[in-house]
Structure 1
Amino acid sequence: MKAAVIFSQSGIPQYTENFSEPITTSDEQAIISVKAAAIKNLDKAKASGKHYSTESEKSQAIIPGGDGVGLLADGTRVYALGVTGMLAEKAVVEKNRMIKLPDGIDNATAAALPNAVAGSAMALRFSARMNGGETILINGATGFTGKLAIQIAKLYGAGKIIVTGRNESALQALQALGADEYLLTTLDETFVKQLKKIHQQTPIDIVVDYLWGRTAELILETLKGTGAFTHRTRFVSVGSMTGDTIQLSSQILRSVNLQLSGSGLGSWTKEEMQLLLTEIIPEMFQLAADNKLKVDTMSIPLKEIEQVWDTDISSGTRLVVEI
Structure 2
Amino acid sequence: MKAAVVFQRGERPKYITDYPTPVATGQDEITLSVKAAAIKNLDKSRASGQHYSTQGRPAQATIPGGDGVGLLPDGSRVYALGITGMLAEKAVVNKSRTIPLPADIDNITAAALPNAVAGSAMALRFSAQMEAGAIILINGATGFTGSIAVQIAKYYGAGRVIVTGRNKQSLEMLTAIGADEYIVIGDDEAFSARLKEIHQHSPIDIVLDYLWGNTAVLILEALKGTGHFTHKTRFVSIGSMTGETIELSSQILRSVNLQLSGSGLGSWTKEEVNQLLTHIIPEMFELAAAKRLQVNTTCITLENIEQAWDTEIASGQRLVVTI
Q: Distance in 2 between matches of 1:113 and 1:11?
A: 26
* Residue 154 of structure 2: aligned partner: 154
Contact 1:140-1:146 within 8 A present in 2 as well? yes
Deviation at 1:11, TM superposition (A): 3.4
Question: Does 2:96 correspond to 1:91?
Answer: no
1:181-220 aligned at under 5 Å gives the runs: 181-220=181-220
What does residue 144 of structure 1 align with? Answer: 144
Q: Name the structure 2 match of 1:134.
A: 134
The 3-state SS of whatever aligns with 2:313 is coil
What letter is aligned with 1:203? P
One-letter code aligned to 2:202: T
Q: Give the 3-state SS of the residue equivalent to 2:114 in structure 1.
A: helix
What's the counterpart of residue 119 of structure 2?
A: 119
| Corresponding residue SS for 2:176 | helix
State the shift of 1:220 in Å: 0.2
Letter in structure 2 aligned against 1:174: L
Matched residue, 2:253: 253
Q: 1:199 is matched by which residue type in structure 2?
A: H
Q: TM-score, normalised by structure 2?
A: 0.99
Aligned positions, number? 323
* Whole-angstrom CA distance in 1 between matches of 2:277 and 2:27: 20
Instruction: Tell me how far 1:17 sits from its aligned partner.
Output: 0.1
Match of 2:60 in 1: 60
Aligned to 1:10: 10
Residue identity matched to 1:64: P
State the TM-score, normalizing by the size of structure 1.
0.99
Please say if 1:223 is aligned against 2:218. no
Q: Which residue of 2 is the match for residue 24 of structure 1?
A: 24
Please name the residue that 1:179 is paired with: 179
Aligned to 1:70: 70
Residues 1:290 and 2:284 aligned together: no
The answer to whether the 8 Å contact 2:10/2:49 transfers is no
**Quick check: 173-182 or 3-12, which moved more?**
3-12
Shift of 1:185: 1.0
**Identity of paired residues, percent?**
69
User: Per-residue CA shift, 1:292-314, capped at 9, x if unaligned?
Assistant: 00011011000000001011111
Check conservation: 1:230, 1:256, Cα contact below 8 A. yes
SS at the partner of 2:260? Answer: strand
The one-letter code sitting in structure 2 at the alignment partner of 1:31 is T
Which string of whole-angstrom CA distances, capped at 9 and with x for unpartnered residues, describes residues 248-279 of structure 1? 00000000000000000000000000000000
Secondary structure of 1:95's partner?
A: strand
- Cα offset, 1:10, TM superposition: 2.5
> Per-residue CA shift, 1:40-93, capped at 9, x if unaligned?
000000000000000021111110100000001111000000000000000000
Tell me the amino acid that sits aligned with residue 17 of structure 2: E
d(CA) in 2 for partners of 1:72, 1:34: 9
Deviations 1:167-193 (A, max 9, x none): 111111111111001101110000001
RMSD: 0.6
Contact 1:11–1:44 under 8 Å retained in 2: no
Runs of 4+ residues deviating >3 angstroms: none
Counterpart residue type for residue 6 of structure 2: I
Cα deviations by residue, 1:129-153 (Å, 9 ceiling, x for unpaired) = 0000010000011100000000000
Write the distance in 1 (CA, Å) between the matches of 2:201 and 2:225.
15
- Gaps in structure 1 of 5+ consecutive residues: none
Deviations 1:205-231 (A, max 9, x none): 000000000000000000000101111
